A and B are shown apart, each in its own frame.
Chain A
Amino acid sequence: MSLPKRRHSHTRGAKRRTHWKLNKPNLTNCPNCSQKKLSHHVCPHCGHYDGRRVILESKLKS
């Protein structure tokens, strides 16, 4: 089995992980309720999509 020859410092690991980043979701304002929503998605706040009611109030979470 191959084994590491030298000690691996904390800095070295931390430097490698500087590229671990999260991407921000690309949000738009809902044309109906003007809250933030994912583009091309049903609005999770008001249940509208493409100018019509898609999800009923009773089915909406929260």
Chain B
Amino acid sequence: MRHRKTVKKLGVKKNHRQAMMRNMVVSLLDHGRITTTHARAKVLKSLADKMITLGKNDTVFSRRVAGKTIQNRETLKKLFHQIAPEFADRNGGYTRIIRAGIRRGDNAALSMVELVNYEPKVAESDEKEKKSEEKKK
């Protein structure tokens, strides 16, 4: 029976799932936003928020606890020195899920997970948009 077992299995075995989620947390912290399926996004959000909470308390212990999930020294440093301090005055809810349509091929619901303070690079989009507007005229 799976009574009161709350782990989302995502159709993979534990080791696979654990490795996948660890990789996704690292990618999210590195890039600020990643696109994945909606089911994975919801699990990722929960895990990533926990990591940022750990990052706000810079002790050897919390570094080691976070390091179990974030098995990349550069990313771990970035979390403790750069990402977590930015969220110092926010209590939870550091990430956001935005539904982003459907995947061609398997019709999977896709979502973007992003850090709440993530900003798409504006300069690039401005240039492209200006060009496209000129074309329309």
The interface of chain A, by Cβ under 8 A from chain B, is 38, 40-42, 44, 49-50, 53-58
Contact = CB atoms under 8 A, between A and B. Distances in A.
B10 interface: no
A56 B125 contact: yes
Interface in B98-112: 98-101, 112
B129 A41 contact: no
B11 interface: no
Interface of B: 98-101, 112, 120-121, 124-125, 128-129, 132
A49 B98 CA distance: 8
B120 A57 contact: no
B101 A41 contact: yes
- The binding surface of chain B is classed by DSSP as mixed
A53 B101 contact: no
A57 B133 CA distance: 11
B98 A42 contact: yes
A58 B98 CA distance: 19
29 contacts: A38-B99, A38-B101, A40-B99, A41-B99, A41-B100, A41-B101, A42-B98, A42-B99, A42-B100, A42-B101, A42-B112, A50-B98, A53-B120, A53-B125, A54-B98, A54-B112, A54-B120, A55-B120, A56-B120, A56-B121, A56-B124, A56-B125, A56-B128, A57-B125, A57-B128, A57-B129, A58-B124, A58-B125, A58-B128
Contacts of B125: 53, 56-58
Given A50-B98, A58-B124, 20 more contacts: A41-B99, A41-B100, A42-B99, A42-B100, A42-B112, A53-B120, A53-B125, A54-B98, A54-B112, A55-B120, A56-B121, A56-B124, A56-B125, A56-B128, A57-B125, A57-B128, A57-B129, A57-B132, A58-B125, A58-B128
